[in-house]
Amino acid sequence: MCSIDLNQISADDWDELNDPRPDVTEFDRVVDAALSRRGFVSGLVAFGSGAAAMGMMPGAARAMETSRFAFEPIGLQTDATVHVPDGYEWQIVARWGDPLYSDVPAFDHATGGAADYTDRVFGENTDGMEMFVVGDRQVLVVNHEYANRKVNLPQATGGTPRDAQDVKKLQKLQGVAVIEIARGESGWQIVQDSSLNRRITHLTPIEIAGPAAGHALMQTQADPEGVLALGTMNNCGSGKTPWGTYLTCEENFNGYFGATDTDAIYPAMVQDGYERYGIGTDGWGYDYHKWDERFDTSVTPNEPHRVGWVVEIDPANPDANPVKRTGLGRFKHENAAVVLASDGRVVIYMGDDERGEFLYRFVSSGTYVPGGSTEGLLDNGTLSVAKFNEDGTGEWRALTPETTGMTSAAEILIFARIAASAVGATTMDRPEWIAVNPHAIEAYCCLTNNKNRGVKPNAGGDDTSVNGPNPRQSNKYGQIVRWRPVNEDHGADGFEWDLYVMAGNPEVYDNAYGGSDNVTAGNMFNSPDGMVFDSAGLLWIQTDGDDSNDGEFAGMGNNQMLAGDPVTGEIARFLTGPKGCEVTGLTWSADRRAMFVGIQHPAAPFPDGEGKLPRSAVIAVTRSDGGLVG
Ligand code: FEO
Ligand code: CA
Ligand code: CA
């Protein structure tokens, strides 16, 4: 049946393999309903008629007959470099440690750079990014999500910070980079010393705006008014407003906090929040709390409330403070997909990437008028959360004092997860990036995987039994859900949904874990994560999954980027990353003749060779004939 490595499979999968379920089960029915819903988008017939049938179709029969892709799909790779199709080329644009200014020393592989200038170089762990045109200059804004401590602190045992200087170095490596880039004789490069170059780190002053600004839960001794935080943290995915600002999304912020007094007692609401958001006494090894009391919750208990937001940055104005937009809610933000409602209100779709957490939508109270004032647009509005019904419909449930039983808008936003649980939101398989189709009124969300699906509740105790858009127990491959709002209006409160793809391994499984019909031996992947539409309406899917190429993941190779046709369902592999990396972040040059792709946390020897530190990098992919790439 398969070449599965029995040492690697879970108890659930072992059970499934050895005690196959009846041909048609309730589980199949739910999967079938999710995939074969009629009348949603033409082309849905590309999906199979049932989960049991999906995996039994030979790969050739699954292939689509026509293709809108301008490239020949590539095979899987397991090596230490990047691969693109014939007729395409790639080059490094920026690596961790590359100087943004000419007076900064070249990268030092022995030390990983000194703390005094790590906020004057390109940061680590590139993630979400967007391109902005400022006058005749092209400005790339890139997130630097987290730190690879063992790599970034090569002289510290196990990557554990030795002192406050090591902590400061980590704090300055992460955050956001604003860099002017230009195409020269050696391709796309950073424009050193550009007046637009800027680093925003864990230490940068950030204004707090919106309904939670100034609330008692946002106040600290250093900022008694609760209106000015320091730093934006764990910057994962991105977003772009119609008025030319960048949105950076704070994700796993909890890992930076700990407590030196492990017996500290907190007010009940603070303690409940810590439990729901995963704030403990040890942190995740950054050890900020041992050297910087802002991150020691036993000293500064409200500091965690000041992280977990979406932050707006103006790339054209290096002197402007970034702003935390609390109206968009506090959770582990993946990205922020911005679109306008029919009447011009600003709609932002957002995922909360944790097992069994939720999908959110913000709708502004005011409307966007091109060239008009955008003051308050992201501060005043309604935050809602998605409820998916089994019949293919769904609704956005507003989070208000009336619906949640909570006392104020500020409290609801600071503890958005708790508010969302109160209104019965649908628990999801880790919502990652959301992308809005520029050619149809619909949106897509990567649900990357969820080993806890059907196994245990989320951190709020919500039931996580399989449900419509999350139909597989112990989901290790992930899926992409899409929804189309009623009345073709992203501001409407109802929608219809289906699954665009269920990732899986059709060579290993002949059940729902084999994936939907648009998954074949030739395009297999797991854990869809980054996702962006290009101007032509193709859906680019990036992965952050198991790259062992073994057992249940055999045939998938390294993490990759694929193109998806939203109409036919066809999916084709375009790019493979180096071993160990996640492929994440995608944007284009103004002329659409270069695509910029993020290669996060590759393993050595990428990109500088044997004996050198691995370095996250942004690459440019171009056509050899200079043609359009998106
Ligand atoms: Fe930072 Fe959920 O990825
Ligand atoms: Ca991600
Ligand atoms: Ca991920």
* The pLDDT of residue 435: 99
Structural contact between residues 553 and 27, judged by C-beta atoms closer than 8 angstroms: no
With a 6 A CB cut-off, is 352 part of the ligand 1 pocket?
Answer: no
With a 6 A CB cut-off, is 236 part of the ligand 1 pocket?
Answer: yes
* The pLDDT of residue 32: 63
Ligand of minimum distance to the alpha carbon of 431: 1
- Ligand 3 geometric centre to CA of 542 (Å): 10
* The pLDDT of residue 68: 86
- Ligand 1 geometric centre to CA of 129 (Å): 13
Atom of ligand 1 nearest to the CA of 237: 1
With a 6 A CB cut-off, is 357 part of the ligand 1 pocket?
Answer: no
Ligand of minimum distance to the alpha carbon of 145: 1
With a 6 A CB cut-off, is 354 part of the ligand 1 pocket?
Answer: no
Residue 219: give its domain's CATH number. Answer: 2.120.10.30
Residue 516 lies in a domain: yes
Q: Of 508, 240, 278, 260, nearest to 378 (Cα)?
A: 240
Atom of ligand 1 nearest to the CA of 448: 2
- Which residue ranges in the chain fall short of pLDDT 70? 1-66
Residue 3 lies in a domain: no
Residue 512 identity (one-letter amino acid): A
- Ligand 3 geometric centre to CA of 448 (Å): 6
With a 6 A CB cut-off, is 429 part of the ligand 1 pocket?
Answer: no
β 205-209/323-325 pair status:
parallel
- Token match 């999954």: residue? 545
With a 6 A CB cut-off, is 145 part of the ligand 1 pocket?
Answer: yes
Residue 5 lies in a domain: no
pLDDT in tens, 202-231: 999 999 999 999 999 999 999 999 999 999
CB contact set of 72 (below 8 Å; sequence gap of 6+)? 85, 86, 87
With a 6 A CB cut-off, is 223 part of the ligand 1 pocket?
Answer: no
pTM, to two decimals: 0.92
Atom of ligand 1 nearest to the CA of 145: 1
Q: How far is CA 468 from the centre of its chain?
A: 22
pLDDT in tens, 343-397: 999 999 999 999 999 999 999 999 999 999 999 999 999 999 999 999 999 999 9
Residue 361 lies in a domain: yes
Residue 45 lies in a domain: yes
Residue 630 lies in a domain: no
- Ligand 2 geometric centre to CA of 233 (Å): 14
- Ligand 2 geometric centre to CA of 432 (Å): 6
Q: Of 404, 403, 310, 425, nearest to 358 (Cα)?
A: 425
Residue 495 lies in a domain: yes
**Burial class (CB within 10 angstroms; exposed 0-12, middle 13-18, buried 19+) of 281:** middle
For residue 103, give its domain range: 11-68+77-623
CA–CA dist 540, 561 (Å, integer): 7
- Ligand 1 geometric centre to CA of 65 (Å): 34
Residue 1 lies in a domain: no
Atom of ligand 1 nearest to the CA of 351: 2
Atom of ligand 1 nearest to the CA of 544: 3
Residue 62 identity (one-letter amino acid): R
Total Cβ atoms within 10 A of residue 567:
16
- Ligand 2 geometric centre to CA of 238 (Å): 10
Atom of ligand 1 nearest to the CA of 236: 1
Structural contact between residues 34 and 499, judged by C-beta atoms closer than 8 angstroms: yes
With a 6 A CB cut-off, is 28 part of the ligand 1 pocket?
Answer: no
pLDDT in tens, 523-575: 999 999 999 999 999 999 999 999 999 999 999 999 999 999 999 999 999 99
Number of domains in the chain: 1
- Ligand 3 geometric centre to CA of 519 (Å): 20
* The pLDDT of residue 10: 40
With a 6 A CB cut-off, is 432 part of the ligand 1 pocket?
Answer: yes
With a 6 A CB cut-off, is 498 part of the ligand 1 pocket?
Answer: no
With a 6 A CB cut-off, is 445 part of the ligand 1 pocket?
Answer: no
* The pLDDT of residue 30: 52
Q: Of 365, 329, 371, 361, nearest to 344 (Cα)?
A: 365
For residue 31, what are the CA distances in angstroms to 35, 48, 497, 612?
A: 6, 10, 13, 47
Q: What is the DSSP string of 568-627?
A: T--EEEEEEPPTT-EEEEEEE-TTSS-EEEEEESPPTTTTT-TTS----EEEEEEETT--
With a 6 A CB cut-off, is 582 part of the ligand 1 pocket?
Answer: no
- Ligand 1 geometric centre to CA of 259 (Å): 25
- Ligand 1 geometric centre to CA of 353 (Å): 6
* The pLDDT of residue 47: 36
The first and second tokens of residue 145, run together, are 């999500």
Atom of ligand 1 nearest to the CA of 432: 2
* The pLDDT of residue 42: 34
Ligand 1: which residue has its CA nearest to atom 1? 236
pLDDT in tens, 293-311: 999 999 999 999 999 999 9
Beta strand spans in 355-452 (E): 359-367, 381-388, 393-398, 431-436, 443-447
* The pLDDT of residue 412: 98
CB contact set of 50 (below 8 Å; sequence gap of 6+)? 24, 28, 31, 32, 36
With a 6 A CB cut-off, is 334 part of the ligand 1 pocket?
Answer: yes
- Ligand 3 geometric centre to CA of 350 (Å): 15
* The pLDDT of residue 67: 84
- Ligand 2 geometric centre to CA of 598 (Å): 11
Q: Which helix (H) or strand (E) holds 143?
A: strand 137-144
Total Cβ atoms within 10 A of residue 290:
17
Ligand of minimum distance to the alpha carbon of 234: 1
- Ligand 3 geometric centre to CA of 134 (Å): 31
With a 6 A CB cut-off, is 251 part of the ligand 1 pocket?
Answer: yes
Atom of ligand 1 nearest to the CA of 334: 2
